[in-house]
Amino acid sequence: MIVQDNVVTAWLATAVHGQTMVYARATFLPVGSAVAKRLRLLAASGHVLLYRERRTHGPGDENFRFIVRRTAKQLPGPGGVLIVKGVKPLGAHKPQDKRTGSCAMLVRDIAPQVRSILAEGERRSAETIARELGLYSAQPVRVAMQSMAA
Protein backbone atom coordinates (compact mmCIF):
# COMPACT_ATOMS: atom_id res chain seq x y z
CA MET A 1 0.00 0.00 0.00
CA ILE A 2 1.39 3.39 -1.00
CA VAL A 3 -0.49 6.66 -0.55
CA GLN A 4 -1.51 8.83 -3.49
CA ASP A 5 0.37 11.98 -4.45
CA ASN A 6 -2.49 14.28 -3.42
CA VAL A 7 -2.31 12.85 0.13
CA VAL A 8 1.40 13.72 0.29
CA THR A 9 0.70 17.22 -1.05
CA ALA A 10 -2.00 17.82 1.56
CA TRP A 11 0.24 16.51 4.33
CA LEU A 12 3.16 18.70 3.23
CA ALA A 13 0.90 21.77 3.27
CA THR A 14 -0.09 21.21 6.91
CA ALA A 15 2.81 19.28 8.46
CA VAL A 16 4.98 20.98 11.07
CA HIS A 17 8.54 20.18 12.13
CA GLY A 18 8.77 16.66 13.55
CA GLN A 19 5.40 15.44 12.30
CA THR A 20 5.43 12.03 10.61
CA MET A 21 3.28 10.13 8.13
CA VAL A 22 3.38 6.51 6.97
CA TYR A 23 3.42 6.80 3.19
CA ALA A 24 3.79 3.10 2.38
CA ARG A 25 3.47 -0.34 3.91
CA ALA A 26 5.31 -2.87 1.79
CA THR A 27 8.26 -5.23 1.56
CA PHE A 28 9.84 -2.84 -0.96
CA LEU A 29 8.79 0.30 -2.82
CA PRO A 30 7.93 -0.04 -6.51
CA VAL A 31 10.74 1.15 -8.79
CA GLY A 32 8.55 3.58 -10.73
CA SER A 33 6.65 5.01 -7.75
CA ALA A 34 6.07 8.73 -8.33
CA VAL A 35 5.35 9.31 -4.63
CA ALA A 36 8.62 7.67 -3.54
CA LYS A 37 10.57 9.61 -6.18
CA ARG A 38 9.03 12.91 -5.04
CA LEU A 39 9.79 12.17 -1.39
CA ARG A 40 13.37 11.18 -2.23
CA LEU A 41 13.84 14.54 -4.00
CA LEU A 42 12.42 16.35 -0.96
CA ALA A 43 14.74 14.36 1.31
CA ALA A 44 17.75 15.22 -0.86
CA SER A 45 16.92 18.92 -0.51
CA GLY A 46 16.48 18.62 3.26
CA HIS A 47 12.73 19.24 3.51
CA VAL A 48 11.89 15.78 4.90
CA LEU A 49 13.63 12.76 6.41
CA LEU A 50 12.83 9.27 5.17
CA TYR A 51 13.17 6.07 7.14
CA ARG A 52 11.51 2.70 7.54
CA GLU A 53 10.52 0.51 10.45
CA ARG A 54 10.19 -3.27 10.42
CA ARG A 55 6.78 -4.63 11.36
CA THR A 56 6.85 -6.84 14.40
CA HIS A 57 3.32 -8.26 14.39
CA GLY A 58 -0.06 -8.15 12.67
CA PRO A 59 -1.64 -9.68 9.58
CA GLY A 60 -0.48 -8.95 6.06
CA ASP A 61 2.51 -9.49 3.81
CA GLU A 62 4.12 -6.09 4.35
CA ASN A 63 7.44 -6.22 6.20
CA PHE A 64 8.15 -2.47 6.48
CA ARG A 65 6.45 0.81 7.22
CA PHE A 66 7.98 3.61 5.15
CA ILE A 67 7.78 6.87 7.10
CA VAL A 68 8.38 10.50 6.17
CA ARG A 69 9.23 13.09 8.86
CA ARG A 70 8.92 16.83 8.22
CA THR A 71 11.96 19.00 8.93
CA ALA A 72 12.01 22.69 9.83
CA LYS A 73 13.24 23.74 6.38
CA GLN A 74 10.65 25.88 4.56
CA LEU A 75 9.17 24.39 1.39
CA PRO A 76 9.61 26.38 -1.83
CA GLY A 77 6.63 28.23 -3.28
CA PRO A 78 3.95 30.51 -1.86
CA GLY A 79 2.99 29.58 1.68
CA GLY A 80 5.55 26.78 1.74
CA VAL A 81 3.58 24.59 -0.65
CA LEU A 82 5.34 22.94 -3.55
CA ILE A 83 4.37 24.25 -6.95
CA VAL A 84 3.39 21.50 -9.36
CA LYS A 85 4.74 22.05 -12.85
CA GLY A 86 4.26 20.13 -16.03
CA VAL A 87 0.66 19.04 -15.49
CA LYS A 88 -0.95 18.30 -18.82
CA PRO A 89 -4.24 20.08 -19.49
CA LEU A 90 -7.30 17.95 -20.00
CA GLY A 91 -7.84 16.92 -23.57
CA ALA A 92 -10.81 17.84 -25.72
CA HIS A 93 -12.08 14.26 -25.60
CA LYS A 94 -14.01 13.19 -22.52
CA PRO A 95 -13.96 9.66 -21.03
CA GLN A 96 -17.25 8.66 -22.65
CA ASP A 97 -15.84 9.62 -26.07
CA LYS A 98 -12.95 7.22 -25.57
CA ARG A 99 -15.22 4.51 -24.20
CA THR A 100 -17.55 4.49 -27.20
CA GLY A 101 -14.96 5.22 -29.84
CA SER A 102 -16.58 8.34 -31.30
CA CYS A 103 -18.93 11.14 -30.47
CA ALA A 104 -21.16 10.20 -33.45
CA MET A 105 -21.88 6.78 -31.99
CA LEU A 106 -22.80 8.35 -28.66
CA VAL A 107 -25.08 10.87 -30.39
CA ARG A 108 -26.92 8.01 -32.12
CA ASP A 109 -27.32 6.24 -28.77
CA ILE A 110 -28.67 9.24 -26.86
CA ALA A 111 -30.80 10.81 -29.62
CA PRO A 112 -34.05 8.97 -28.59
CA GLN A 113 -33.62 10.00 -24.94
CA VAL A 114 -32.90 13.62 -25.91
CA ARG A 115 -35.95 13.64 -28.18
CA SER A 116 -38.23 12.33 -25.41
CA ILE A 117 -36.85 14.82 -22.85
CA LEU A 118 -37.41 17.71 -25.27
CA ALA A 119 -40.94 16.41 -26.04
CA GLU A 120 -41.93 17.02 -22.41
CA GLY A 121 -42.17 20.70 -23.35
CA GLU A 122 -39.89 22.27 -20.74
CA ARG A 123 -37.05 24.50 -21.87
CA ARG A 124 -33.86 22.63 -21.09
CA SER A 125 -30.26 23.29 -21.91
CA ALA A 126 -27.84 20.72 -23.29
CA GLU A 127 -26.00 20.78 -19.95
CA THR A 128 -29.18 19.93 -18.01
CA ILE A 129 -30.03 17.07 -20.35
CA ALA A 130 -26.46 15.76 -20.19
CA ARG A 131 -26.66 15.67 -16.40
CA GLU A 132 -29.97 13.79 -16.56
CA LEU A 133 -28.42 11.23 -18.91
CA GLY A 134 -25.28 10.90 -16.78
CA LEU A 135 -22.85 12.24 -19.38
CA TYR A 136 -19.59 13.99 -18.57
CA SER A 137 -19.95 16.46 -21.42
CA ALA A 138 -22.86 18.32 -22.98
CA GLN A 139 -21.26 18.23 -26.44
CA PRO A 140 -22.99 15.00 -27.61
CA VAL A 141 -26.35 16.45 -26.50
CA ARG A 142 -25.66 19.67 -28.43
CA VAL A 143 -24.83 17.66 -31.55
CA ALA A 144 -28.00 15.57 -31.14
CA MET A 145 -30.11 18.73 -30.69
CA GLN A 146 -28.55 20.32 -33.78
CA SER A 147 -29.23 17.24 -35.90
CA MET A 148 -32.87 17.23 -34.72
CA ALA A 149 -33.27 20.91 -35.56
CA ALA A 150 -31.90 20.47 -39.07
Q: Are residues 12 and 74 in the same domain?
A: yes
Q: Are residues 76 and 99 in the same domain?
A: no
Which domain does 133 fall in, by range?
Answer: 95-149
Alpha-carbon span 35 to 5, nearest angstrom:
6
- The answer to whether residue 90 is domain-embedded is no
- The DSSP secondary structure of 12-45, one letter per residue, reads HHH--TT-EEEEEEESS--TT-HHHHHHHHHHHT
Q: Are residues 11 and 34 in the same domain?
A: yes
Q: Are residues 11 and 71 in the same domain?
A: yes
Counted domains in the chain? 2
Strand positions, DSSP E, 45-126: 48-54, 64-70
Alpha-carbon span 16 to 73, nearest angstrom:
10
pTM for the full predicted model: 0.49
Alpha-carbon span 144 to 107, nearest angstrom:
6
The yes-or-no verdict on residue 65 having pLDDT over 80 is: yes
pLDDT at 48: 92
- The answer to whether residue 87 is domain-embedded is no
Nearest-5° Cα angle at 7, 96 to 24: 110
- The answer to whether residue 61 is domain-embedded is yes
Per-residue pLDDT of 1-49, as tens digits, reads 788 888 888 888 888 899 999 888 888 888 788 888 888 888 998 899 9
